[in-house]
Copies of this chain bind each other. A is one copy, B any other.
Amino acid sequence: MAAGPAFADAGKKPAGEEISHFLLGNGMEVVVIPDHRAPIVTHMVWYKVGSADEPPGKSGIAHFFEHLMFKGTEKHKAGEFGAKIAEIGGSENAFTSDDFTAYFQTVSPDALGTMMDYEADRMRNLILTDAVIGPERDVVLEERRSRIETSPDALLAEEIDATLYQNHPYRIPVIGWMHEMEKLNRADAVAFYDRYYAPNNAILVVAGDVDANTVRTLAEATYGKVARGPDLPPRLRPQEPEQNTARTVTLSDPRVTTPSFSKSWLAPSYNTAEPGEGEALDLLSEILGGGVRSRIYQALVVKAGIASTAGAYYDGTKLDTGSFVVYGAPRGDAKLEEVQAAIDAEIAAVVKDGVTEEELEAAKNRFLRSMIFAQDSQSSMANIYGTALATGGTVDDILGWPDRIRKVTSADLVKAAAKYLRSSGSVTGYLLPAEPVQN
C-alpha cells in the first residue's frame, strides 16, 4: 500500500466520477482515475518486478533494464519516444524500487493513444544487442559511482540494509552491487525482459482528463494487442528469520563533518501486517518523529537543543517486511549518545504511557488532510494506486484507508511500538567524521 499520508478518500472524486479498475483480455490490469480540472493526463505503466525479484548474483538488472527501456525498437529508434514527448510539450520519467518498475508520461489527453502505442511497443519489442547493452551498462556503473561510491551516507545506508535484512533480498541495493553490475550482460537482460515485461505482469494507471471507456478502448487497441508473457508464480521471496541480536554498522570517513545515527527495525508492511498494524505504525512514526510538531523533534531539537535534526519514519509500502527508523544528529557540544538516549526515552514513554487523544487526533487529521491534498496532484494519485497495486494492495484497501486510520487508538500504537521497536532486532548505523581506524 502506498505511503501513508497520501491516501485520501480517493474513490470519491469531487466530480462524483468513480475510479475504474478492470483487466484487459491479456491480463493487463488497468486503473483509471478521472480528474477533469485541467486538460492533462498522467499515463503510467507499472511492472510488478523490482530489485527484490532479481536472480541471485544479478543485482542491478531491474534498474539497468529501466535504462534499456529507453533504447529502440524496430518501429521506433532510440530517442524517438522522448523526442515525441518533448515535441508535444509533455514530460516523462521512470523509476525502479525493490518491488516495482514504473514508466510515466504527462501529456495532453489527445496524445494518450500515442503514448500507449509507444509504451506497448517497448513492452516487448526492444532491440537488445551487445551494442545497446554495453554502453548503457557503463552509464549505470557511472551512476553507482557518482551516487553511491562517493557518498559515505549512501555507502552506510547500503550496509545498514544488508545488516537489517539477513535473508530477504531487500538487503541488496536497488542499483546493484558494483561487482555484479559489471557482469550484467545481454543474456541477463533478455531473460529479465522475457520473463517480466508482459501485459499480464503490468498495471496501467491513467489519471486525468479522460473517461474510463476511452482509456479502455485505447488500451485494448495498443496494450491489448501484446501477447501474454509467461504465467509467473507468486512473488515469494526469502523471508526474514527471527532476529535475536542488536547490531551496529559504523562508517568512519574523513568526508563526514558531523556525526549522526539511525536506528532501524524490521516492521511489517501494509501488505504483511496484521489488520490495523500498518496504520498504527504510520501514526506512531508521525507522532514520534514525523515533523517539527513531533515528540522527538520537540524534545530534542526545540526544548533540549541537543540535536540539529531528529525524527522517525515508517516504510510500509513494501510487498514484504518493511522498516521503522529513528534518526538524529547532535548539535553544539551534545554527544551522539545523548541524542540516542533521548530518542530511546521518547519511544519508552510511548510504550509506557501511550499518546494523548489530542496528539492522535492531530496526527490523524494531518494524514487525512495530506490525502486530500494528494487528490490535487494527478501524479500523486497515479503513484498511490500504482504503488499499492504493485505491492499487494487493492483499490478497496486505498479507499478504506482513511476509515482505518480513524479507528487507530493509543493502545494500538503502544502495542505496535512494544512489539516491533525492540533492541534485539535493531540495527543502529553510525556515520562518523573520523579517519577509519586500523584493526
Contacts and interface: CB of A to CB of B under 8 A. Distances in A.
Contact of A167 (B177, B236, B249): B177
B439 A177 contact: no
A180 to B, nearest CB: 7
Nearest to A180: B238
Interface of A: 56-57, 59, 155-156, 158-159, 162-163, 166-167, 169, 171-172, 177-180, 236-239, 241-252, 344, 347-348, 351, 421-424, 436-439
Contact of A423 (B166, B180, B347, B438): B438
Q: Which 8 A-B pairs have the closest CB atoms?
A: A162-B166, A177-B241, A57-B238, A248-B248, A159-B245, A246-B250, A245-B249, A344-B439
Contacts of A438: 348, 351, 422-423
Contacts of A158: 241
A162 to B, nearest CB: 4
Contacts of A236: 57
A242 B238 CA distance: 23
13 contacts: A56-B237, A155-B245, A158-B241, A159-B244, A163-B247, A179-B242, A245-B249, A246-B252, A247-B247, A344-B439, A347-B439, A351-B439, A424-B436
A52 to B, nearest CB: 11
Contact of A247 (B241, B244, B250, B424): B250
A63 to B, nearest CB: 15
A439 B421 contact: yes
Contacts of A237: 56-57
A368 to B, nearest CB: 30
A421 to B, nearest CB: 6
A242 B158 CA distance: 11
Contacts of A423: 436-439
A143 to B, nearest CB: 16
Contact of A166 (B56, B57, B171, B246): B171
A244 B156 CA distance: 8
B56 A238 contact: yes
Contacts of A57: 236-239
A311 to B, nearest CB: 16
